[in-house]
A and B are shown apart, each in its own frame.
Chain A
C-alpha cells in the first residue's frame, strides 16, 4: 500500500452539532473530510464503496481562535462568530497503490477543511505495515464497537453532492481519538485486537474496508 503525507498550516473540521455562535473544530477529520480530499485529488466524487481500504492518521501542533464576520439568517446586520482552527498539521493517508497518480497531480486544490486550509503533498511512498496486537491508535476516528474510550460523536461518513447545499448521506457514531501525546494517553488508547502498525509514526492505524454503509 502507499502512504501520502499531507501538510497544512491551518485545518478545520466542522463539529456537526454546533450550528451558530461558537464553532469549534473536531481534533481529527471525520471520514467525510477524507472523502472530500480523495475527491479533490481524483477530480470527481469518490465513494468509499469503490475503495478497498483506507486508513488515516492526523496530527496537529496547535490551535487558535479566529473571528469571522457572518451574515446570519433572520438578521440584516452582521454578526461576529468565533471559529477554532488547528495549526501546523500533518495528515497521513493509507491507500491502495493506484491512488499514487491522483496525489502526484491532484485535479483540484487540496484542502484540510475550508478554502483557507491550503495543503500540500509532502511525500508519497510505499509502506509495509505489520500486524500487531495491543498497540495504541489515534489521530483518527474508530467505530464505537472497538471499545476504545473517547469522545463519541455522530459523524458524517459520506456526503451526497447533487443536493445543494450538499447533504450527509451516511452518518454513524464514532469514537474520536486524538493523536496520543504521552504515555498515559497511549495506554488509554491501546487496542487489544489486531491492528496494522506504522513503525515510523509509532502508531496503530485503523483501516476501513469496503466502508459503504458498513461502519
Chain B
C-alpha cells in the first residue's frame, strides 16, 4: 500500500469560487452568498470537494489529453461509461453504475482512489468576506440593485491518492470493489442484456489489447499506464483552473504553497493546523509540521518531504521552512524546499518510481 498525500494553499485574493445562491432569508432576496461553514460565532468560506474534483478532472482533459468518460442516459439514469480500462477518469475518480433488469442486478461501483477535502478558508468571514453592492443598469430604465458576496482569503485543501488502486480493478462482491463484471457473469448474462454483454466483452477485449494482466478477481493495467495516470493526477495541480465568477475575479487557483509526501498508510498528516490564523494573519507552524512528520516517520516512504512555495506568497515563511528542513534532515527525512512547480515535478517522479 502506498498513498500520495498532500496539502495545498490557494491564494484566493479576490474570489467567489463556489456560491450558495440567493439568500432567501433577506426581505429583498437579492443577496447571493458564498458557501460557508460555521464554527461558534464565526463562519469560514469554502469550496465544495466536488467542485475541486470537477476542476481537477477538467484540467486533466485539457492539459494531459485525458479522454474523459462520456455520460450516458439510460432508463432515466445518468452515469459515466464505468469503463476504467479505456477512460482514465473512471479509473481515478471512481463511479457507480446501477443496472437492474428483471432479476439481474449488474451494478458496478468503484471507490475513487483520489480523495480530496473541500477548500476551506483560513480566515473567518468577518475578515475575509465582503458583500458587494451592484446595480444592473444600462442608460435606459431603472437600475436593479443586487448584492453578491466575495472573499479575500487563503484556502486550504488536502488530498490522498491510493497508488495501489490506480490502474487496478477488482471484481470482488463488495460495495466499491466490484469495479467490473467477471468473465463468468458476462457469459451468463441473459439475451435481454445482450447490449451489456457485448459492452463488457469489448471492455475485456480492450484490456487484452492494452496488455493488461487479467485474472478472475483483478485486472492490472500495464505499469506504464498506471504510472502515467497517477503522476499526471499530481502534475495537473500545476495547471488546475476553474471556479465560479472567473470573469469578474480571475482567480488563479493553482497552489501557491504545497506539501507532498508518500505514506504506507491511509492517513493524511496534513489534516491539522500546520497553517493557521492568528489575529487576521496567516501563519505557518514549523513545529506542527515537524512533529506530524516525525510521528509518521515509520510509514513515510520514501523518507522525503516536498515543500513548494511561490516566491511572492507569504515571504515571511522562509525561515520557518528552513527550520523544517534542518530539523527533519537531522531526523533522517530528506526535505526539498523549492518552487511549487518543481515540488510537483519531483514528487511526480517519486510516484513514477513506485510502479517500477
Chain A residues at the B interface, C-beta cutoff of 8 Å: 7-10, 40-41, 43, 45, 61-69, 71, 73-76, 78, 85, 87-88, 104-111, 115-122, 161-166
Contact = CB atoms under 8 A, between A and B. Distances in A.
B215 interface: no
Interface stretch (B172-180, B195-203, B251-259, B325-333): B172-180
A3 B173 CA distance: 32
Contacts, number: 134
Contacts of A122: 272
Given A71-B77, A87-B38, A106-B267, A9 B117 contact: yes
B115 interface: yes
Interface of B: 1, 3, 20-21, 35-40, 43-44, 46, 48-50, 73, 76-79, 94, 98, 105, 107-109, 111-112, 115-118, 120, 158-160, 162, 173-175, 178, 264-272, 298-299
Nearest to B156: A9
B118 A109 contact: no
A182 B118 CA distance: 30
A67 B21 contact: yes
Nearest to A70: B78
A109 B35 contact: no
Contacts of A121: 267
B266 A109 contact: yes
B160 A109 contact: yes
A8 B271 contact: yes
Contacts of A161: 173-175
A112 B267 CA distance: 12
A74 B269 CA distance: 42
A110 B160 CA distance: 10
B20 A105 contact: no
Max chain A Cβ within 10 angstroms of own Cβ: one of B21, B73, B109, B265 = B265
